[in-house]
Structure 1
Amino acid sequence: MRNATISGTGSYVPKRLLKNEYFNELLGEDVDTWLRENLTIEQRYWCDEDESTIDLCEHAALKAIENAGIRADELDQIIISTDTPENISPATAAVLQHRLGATGAGTFDLNSACAGFVSAIDTASKYIIADKQYKHILVIGAYAMSKYLNRKDKKTVTLFADGAGAVILSAKENTDSGFLNAHQFTQGQYHDWMGVYAGGTGIPVNHDVVDSGKHLLQFVKKFPKELNPTMWTEMSHRMAKEAGIEIKDVKKFFMTQININAIHEMLDNLGLEKDKAKYIMHKYGYTGSAAIPMALDESFRNGEIKKGDTIFLIGSGGGLSFAGAAFKV
């Protein structure tokens, strides 16, 4: 039976390092203590003025392609998950295709906010399983939210950061490894609670919009704190049941990395130890749709997961969108 397997990973963050102390000075108060004690965040990376989402994607993609042992012109599809695209149109994936010289690849962007990478890897896996023309697909989660931050808004400016993570999915016949199952859910009643609301057709950008800061990320309301742990717990049970395994058999959970307490609560719900999840927010801040593939790449590089391990990827983001995917490495 044909399946989609992870054949290579890569990740990249910009060179501009900002430690918490930078924001103490920017905001005129001690935010470092709160960030460390409540979120474990110590630092993050932001793009310079001459860097953008496409640069992050290119660096991560090149690493994943090399790691997979293929050439760019062997890619059949490029899918980029981002809610900080290079342009509204054309797709960031089309720009990347040109930069990589991936002449045989189709392209499209996907936006389900911070759940996007998992939605994209679900999509790519089913392309490979359903259609034999797809042998290698590049999937990227990319985030350059620093470009959309209000420097005076301490609710957002200290949390959000930039980076990209990439995965090569490759077709493999007669294997027990690869894609197991995936699920996507949305609770659209929360769509107007957090987002970048200007710049589309609903609120086109004009002088008034820019002057008021409405073109930047807005955190309108606090989400119910039980929402993520509850949804993640339910998704984990469903994926484990469909994969025919026990929850305790999952080697590692790769989660949306914005609130460590929410991850801990999910693990408590599942009766698992805290080290069952991979954590990177302490050194990268919140990198949105890039967080999961960045964590995945680090785990592969560090030998934290190996052949035969089962991993769960679980993301959630504005909308509110939720996505989970199970793989056997």
Structure 2
Amino acid sequence: MEAGMSHIVGMGLKVPDKVLTNEYFSEYFKEDLSGFLEGIVGQKERHWLADDESVVDLCLPAAQEAMAEAGITAKDLSMVVVASDTHEYISPPTSLVVQGKLGAINAMIFDLSASCASFVTALVTVDSWFRSHSDFKYALLIGEYGMTKYVDKDDKYTASLFADGAAAFIIENTGESLMASKFIADGTYHDYLGVFGGGTKYPINDDTLAKGLHKLRILKKYDENPNLVAWPGLVKSLMEKVGEPLDAIDLILFTQINLAVIKKVLEILGIPESKSHWIMDRYGYTGSACIPMALYDARKQGKVKPGDLVVLVASGAGQAMGAVALRL
């Protein structure tokens, strides 16, 4: 078992006001999409950023809610970390914008991007910083997602699937919350799905715009669902590190991309659906934000309590996957 030094003492959530239903997309594309959206991926509606909104507009209220619950102010923060692959700018980092707007004058900052596995990766990273910085007291960790700014509105798959949101955790440098973690990656899939324009490989120019590389693109398709293949083994390996059986898990949360896959993985693991939770019916797919959003929602609904063993399983394009075990 890995010794942990972090404990979550506050949570916050914010989604945009704009709501788009399955009916909207069925009407827009002149095709009934409910069978796929609700029947397979589990979505009924999702929230989109307005034209004049950005991810920081979600980060700030989520952070403020989390700080209020923790009973601290921005000046108490030692770290501000933003986990995402949809940032405010290419540079400077989103965490710096958040730090400045909150007035977290004593906090160091960084962004972390590991596709949609960014939040669990950042959670372990914050815990590691605490181990080597005993003077750090509180960290603000935000998982945010603004992928609708990059979707092609005429691509029925990506336009109807992706959504925006943010969730924030205040993590205190005390106790034993993080128990173990397990990460895997396979970069040979890096050119399958992504927003490829805007970096040094394809800078924004006429050619990049003409090819649509500044938008979210699916360039290749997987032969089989990578989450269905990898998640069961990832969870088993994690729990071996924890030293507990699978039935010791009180709550297990997965990246909220496909409800049918989540249910199948639970069946493979022999974990009842009552020990999981999903939010894609109300929030759509919110990428880097979906794991903390789901934990926030599960706690609000009374599905977890202090001391419960919680497992967070995340995956993102590229492929990057991670799982974390913690006690609330």
What band does the TM-score fall into relative to the shorter chain? over 0.9
Match of 2:270 in 1: 271
Residues 54-63 or 23-32, more deviating: 23-32
- Please report how far the alpha carbon of residue 303 of structure 1 lies from its aligned counterpart in structure 2 after TM superposition: 2.0
Supply the distance in 1 between the matched residues of 2:41 and 2:287 (Cα, whole angstroms): 15
Tell me the secondary structure at the aligned position of residue 183 of structure 2.
strand
Asked whether the 8 Å contact 2:257–2:285 carries over to 1, the reply is: yes
Shift of 1:238: 1.7
- Equivalent residue, structure 1, for 2:80: 78
> Which residue is equivalent to 2:25?
23
Partner of 1:3: 5
* 1:139 counterpart = 2:138: no
| In structure 1, C-alpha distance between the alignment counterparts of 2:234 and 2:219, rounded to whole Å | 27
1:276-295 maps to which residues of 2 (within 5 A)? 276-295=275-294
Q: Distance in 1 between matches of 2:154 and 2:47?
A: 18
Q: Is the 8 A contact 1:155 1:219 kept in 2?
A: no
8 Å contact from structure 2 (residues 146, 163) kept in 1 = yes
- On the 8 A contact 1:2/1:171 being kept in 2, the answer is no
Name the CA distance, whole Å, in 1 between partners of 2:236 and 2:37.
31
How far apart in 1 are the matches of 2:34 and 2:233?
34
Q: Structure 2 matches for 1:1-329, cutoff 5 A?
A: 3-172=5-174, 175=175, 177-329=176-328
CA distance in 2, matches of 1:212, 1:25: 27
Taking only the aligned residue pairs, the percentage that are identical comes to 38
Q: Within 2, Cα distance between the matches of 1:55 and 1:34?
A: 31
Provide the C-alpha distance between the structure 1 equivalents of 2:108 and 2:118, rounded to a whole number of angstroms: 19
1:183–1:2 CA distance, 2 compared to 1 (3 A): closer
Contact 1:54–1:96 (CA under 8 A) maintained in structure 2: yes
Q: Which secondary structure does the structure 1 equivalent of 2:6 belong to?
A: strand
Q: Secondary structure at the match of 1:104?
A: coil
- Which SS does the other structure have where 2:172 is aligned? strand
Structure 2 CA distance for aligned equivalents of residues 49 and 294 of structure 1: 23
SS of 1:278's equivalent in the other structure is coil
Gaps of 5+ in 2: none
How far residue 302 of structure 1 moved from its aligned partner, in angstroms, is 2.1
Indicate the larger mover: 215-224 or 112-121.
Answer: 215-224
Assess if the C-alpha contact under 8 Å between 1:138 and 1:166 holds in 2.
yes
- Quote the RMSD (CA, aligned, Å): 1.3
* Structure 1 residue 183 displacement after superposition: 1.9
Normalising to structure 1: TM-score of the pair? 0.96
What per-residue deviation string (whole Å, max 9, x for no partner) do you get for residues 285-310 of structure 1? 10000000001111222221111110
Alpha-carbon distance in structure 1 between the residues aligned to 2:212 and 2:4: 49
* Matched AA of 2:231: W
Which whole-Å CA distance do the structure 1 matches of 2:99 and 2:262 have between them?
A: 35
Shift of 1:226: 4.1
Distance 2:243 2:72 in 1: 33
Q: How many residues align?
A: 326
Question: CA-to-partner distance for each residue in 1:117-154, whole Å, 9 max, x for gaps?
Answer: 00000101111123202211111110000100101111
Return the alpha-carbon distance in structure 1 between the equivalents of residues 299 and 271 of structure 2.
22
Query: Are the equivalent residues in 1 in contact too, given 2:4–2:179 (CA < 8 A)?
Result: no
| CA apart distance, 1:25 | 2.1
Unaligned ranges ≥5, structure 1 = none
- Cα deviation, residue 68, structure 1: 1.2
**Alpha-carbon displacement from aligned partner over 1:75-108 (angstroms, at most 9, x marks no partner):** 1011101111000000000000011111100111
Shift of 1:42: 0.4
**Is the 2:4–2:177 Cα contact (8 Å) retained in structure 1?**
no
Q: Is the partner of 1:323 in helix, strand or coil?
A: strand
Equivalent position SS for 1:185: strand
AA in 1 matched with 2:115? A
Superposed displacement of residue 207, structure 1: 2.2
